[in-house]
Structure 1
Amino acid sequence: MDKNKILQHCLLLGVFGSAVCTDGWKVSVVESLDALVSSCVVLPCTFSHPHENLPTSKLRGKWHVTSDRDQLIYYEDSTRVLENFRGRTKLLGKLGDGNCTLEMIEVKEHDSGPFCFRIEIARTPTDTSTPDKFSFVKNCVTLNMIHEPPKPSLAHKIPVEGYPFTITCSVTHTCPSHIPKLTWSRGSENEITEHHRKLQLGMWETQSILTFIPKEDDDHKDVTCTAEFNGQRTSEETMTLFVKRAVNYNHIIIPTVVAIITAGIFGGLCIFMMKKYKKRINELQSQDGTMWNRMSRISRR
């Protein structure tokens, strides 16, 4: 048996349940994902095969139910897809790039899986009997159905009157192709910024940051952040503002400054008067001395 036939034999064994010959056929998926019913979910998936780089036109990707690879939940020929999944699934990546990520919309209660990816290498665009194919039945994805959307979380410090105050609203999700929309009960567009990031494989986070300057009349008012998920599913979180009065030292500073200025003026006047008084005394003493001298000269005569 030549080398190619041995390889084909191993691949066929792998397809029909043997885990012995899997060299070169690899897949990376998240085994368990949360999925919001009536919304959407994205199943991250990357794969590799034992052949050199091939274009997407020579690769056929399928997603199927674990128990039967003919029960397709995704395939380019939608007529072969189970009716319950028809029109609700699509690949987000390119097979030629090794990306087999699947999007599922309008998630239903029975969409729990497990679901497995299958790759077929076609010799021609119409080839349906290629021996180069593999189902990753030991690396499948199970969906955990969530009936209520996750509530956003609010992070903030103590608001102080007259100083910029920031509230961060965050919500996690499993559908980056349809990011949840976060809205506030107050604030203009210029006061709001948004960020999106990947937390881990299969989990993402959306943030909305509201910045404003609290006023005295904002005290004890509510601020609400609402998260709207794909499928018009919503959740919200509310916080009450307890605005701290800004520390004002004017009632201390102003009287102190006035007292210092007054004391300075009074002290200056006192010094001026003292100098003037001393000068006058010196003048009088000088006059008295002159008169005494005159009287002494007269008495000598």
Structure 2
Amino acid sequence: MGVEASSWTAEVPSSVSGLQGSCIMIPCSFNYPEPEKKPSEFTGIWFKGTHDTIYHPDRSNIIKDYRGRTELVGDLRQKNCSLRIDHLHRSDKGPFHFRVEIKDENKYSYIHDTVSIAVSSSPDPPSLSVREEVKLGVELSASCSVSHSCPSDSPLLTWSHSGTPSVQSQQLTNGQWKVTSSLTFTPSITDHNQSLVCTAEHRGVKPVKMSKTLNVKFCVPYHADVWESARLGYSGMGATAGHMRQSVGDLWERFDSPFSRREAALKLLQLRQDSRSVADYVVDFRTMATDTAWNQEALFDMTSSETLCRNKDELAAQELPMDLDSLIALTIRIDGALDGRVTHTTTPINLRVSGNQSEAIQFLLKPPQVLVVLEFSWLQRPDPLINWSTGG
């Protein structure tokens, strides 16, 4: 029932929900006929049923089962009669009603405005929200929330993944609150097919959990946007001078590549494994990489973004190497084991191709019935200086 001016009315929800062992807050407001003189003193009392006193300023008036468990948290001078019950019991069902006694004025019991409590023995699992598909190396935010009835002792939310958490609390209706924890982290390859778990710990009960499996997407060329910006700038298709200078700076810093090599770099960025084996992809990759003069960091990012796509489930269980040659060797071994084509790889041979520039190649061994040919046209392009006795 709503509060009306200058009448004996009260507003409480007909029912509130609480967890056994936790606390509960019963929201309550009341009104009374305004006397000529402003009241100086109020006494608030709560009853269970018709006569059992569960709250009274004089503790001796409270029945034993509720003594020390109830507190009037509202300010009666502000017409707020909200009640808190601690250590909720299954027997704390009600119904409950409020009574006010105004000094030198009237007294009134709001027996027609009652509230009951639905007591549960176990909490609901938290609600977990995270994107269906996440990108490798791209910052991600996940959120976990749970409703509760005890703002002074809200549930503790924890995550199975490291990151930066933040917590917010929000008051809902009918004596309910919601606490939300947001976790920000950057997914890695080892997160693929792993569970992201949020655990809610309520006082006095067993923790409850909710989990979702992360699907980490690997197939995104990390630096394609940088090269595309440069291409647009150099071709005069509307990029500003400032944009062009920033693009050039990015190219120099990340790829250590002169302007004359940008076409080769763009071709390499467009290279895709598609349905080919990793071994076949690597042959084209190494050939094109020779013309770009990219540094090892850029080449590592480029090949990992493409080759991890095909074998991400298998690679998720591996400890990834941090250098290009070892990464290529690992992906070839896994890919070969899966499709039965490549059975062995040789140790990379370092070729000096021009001046101080060198390039590592390795031979991919397939079953004997498959002919392996190192094409003369490929050797002509880098024109390598090979020392077969030293492997360099």
Task: Tell me if TM exceeds 0.5.
Answer: yes
TM-score (norm. length: structure 1):
0.69
Aligned residues of 2:15 and 2:174 also touching (Cα < 8 A): no
The structure with the larger Rg is 1
Aligned residues of 1:39 and 1:233 also touching (Cα < 8 A): no
What's 2:128 paired with?
Answer: 154
Aligned residues of 1:61 and 1:117 also touching (Cα < 8 A): yes
Aligned residues of 2:122 and 2:205 also touching (Cα < 8 A): no
Q: What are the within-5 Å matches in structure 2 for residues 86-165 of structure 1? A: 86-123=67-104, 132-157=106-131, 158-165=133-140
Q: Equivalents in 2 of 1:170, 1:242: separation in Å?
A: 21
What's 2:189 paired with?
Answer: 216
Q: Following TM superposition, by how much is the alpha carbon of 1:199 offset from its aligned partner in structure 2, in angstroms? A: 2.4
The answer to whether residue 23 in structure 2 is matched with residue 43 in structure 1 is: no
Q: Following TM superposition, by how much is the alpha carbon of 1:200 offset from its aligned partner in structure 2, in angstroms? A: 1.9
Q: Equivalents in 1 of 2:187, 2:219: separation in Å?
A: 10
Aligned residues of 2:157 and 2:201 also touching (Cα < 8 A): yes
Q: Secondary structure at the match of 2:99?
A: strand
Q: Following TM superposition, by how much is the alpha carbon of 1:246 offset from its aligned partner in structure 2, in angstroms? A: 4.2
Q: Following TM superposition, by how much is the alpha carbon of 1:36 offset from its aligned partner in structure 2, in angstroms? A: 0.8
The one-character-per-residue Cα deviations of 1:175-205 (angstroms, maximum 9, x if unpaired) are 22322221112224xx111111122232221
Aligned residues of 1:40 and 1:231 also touching (Cα < 8 A): no
Quick check: which one's strand share is greater?
1
Q: Equivalents in 2 of 1:81, 1:141: separation in Å?
A: 19
Q: Following TM superposition, by how much is the alpha carbon of 1:255 offset from its aligned partner in structure 2, in angstroms? A: 3.2
Q: Equivalents in 1 of 2:191, 2:107: separation in Å?
A: 64
> Cα gap change, 1:49/1:233 in structure 2, threshold over 3 Å: closer, same or farther?
farther
What's 2:358 paired with?
Answer: none
Q: Following TM superposition, by how much is the alpha carbon of 1:160 offset from its aligned partner in structure 2, in angstroms? A: 0.9
Q: Secondary structure at the match of 1:107?
A: coil
Aligned residues of 2:16 and 2:174 also touching (Cα < 8 A): no
The one-character-per-residue Cα deviations of 1:215-244 (angstroms, maximum 9, x if unpaired) are 111112222111122335522112221211
Q: What are the within-5 Å matches in structure 2 for residues 256-267 of structure 1? A: none
What's 2:58 paired with?
Answer: 77
Q: Following TM superposition, by how much is the alpha carbon of 1:140 offset from its aligned partner in structure 2, in angstroms? A: 0.7
Q: Tell me which of 149, 152, 161 is aligned to 1:177.
A: 152
Q: Identify unmatched segments of 5+ residues in structure 2.
A: 225-263, 271-286, 292-392
Aligned residues of 2:156 and 2:201 also touching (Cα < 8 A): yes
The answer to whether residue 34 in structure 2 is matched with residue 59 in structure 1 is: no
Q: Secondary structure at the match of 2:124?
A: coil
The one-character-per-residue Cα deviations of 1:77-127 (angstroms, maximum 9, x if unpaired) are 11110100000010112111111111111111110000000001023xxxx
Q: Secondary structure at the match of 1:211?
A: strand
Q: Equivalents in 1 of 2:14, 2:268: separation in Å?
A: 71
Q: Secondary structure at the match of 1:177?
A: helix
> Cα gap change, 1:95/1:246 in structure 2, threshold over 3 Å: closer, same or farther?
farther
RMSD: 2.6
- Identity rate, percent: 33
> Cα gap change, 1:219/1:143 in structure 2, threshold over 3 Å: closer, same or farther?
same
> Cα gap change, 1:54/1:245 in structure 2, threshold over 3 Å: closer, same or farther?
farther
TM-score (norm. length: structure 2):
0.54
More displaced stretch, 162-171 vs 23-32: 23-32
Relative contact order, higher structure (CA 8 A, sep 6+): 1
The one-character-per-residue Cα deviations of 1:121-174 (angstroms, maximum 9, x if unpaired) are 023xxxxxxx61111111111011111112101011121101111111010112
The one-character-per-residue Cα deviations of 1:255-299 (angstroms, maximum 9, x if unpaired) are 37998xx8xxxxxxxxxxxxxxxxxxxxxxxxxxxxxxxxxxxxx
Q: Secondary structure at the match of 1:220?
A: coil
Q: Equivalents in 2 of 1:107, 1:255: separation in Å?
A: 66
Q: Equivalents in 2 of 1:194, 1:164: separation in Å?
A: 18
Q: Equivalents in 2 of 1:140, 1:217: separation in Å?
A: 55
Q: Equivalents in 1 of 2:28, 2:74: separation in Å?
A: 9
> Cα gap change, 1:253/1:67 in structure 2, threshold over 3 Å: closer, same or farther?
same
More displaced stretch, 248-257 vs 214-223: 248-257
Q: Equivalents in 1 of 2:126, 2:269: separation in Å?
A: 50
Q: Identify unmatched segments of 5+ residues in structure 1.
A: 1-21, 124-130, 263-301
Q: Equivalents in 2 of 1:138, 1:234: separation in Å?
A: 38
Q: In structure 2, what residue type is equivalent to 1:207?
A: T
Q: Equivalents in 1 of 2:7, 2:70: separation in Å?
A: 27
Q: Secondary structure at the match of 1:140?
A: coil
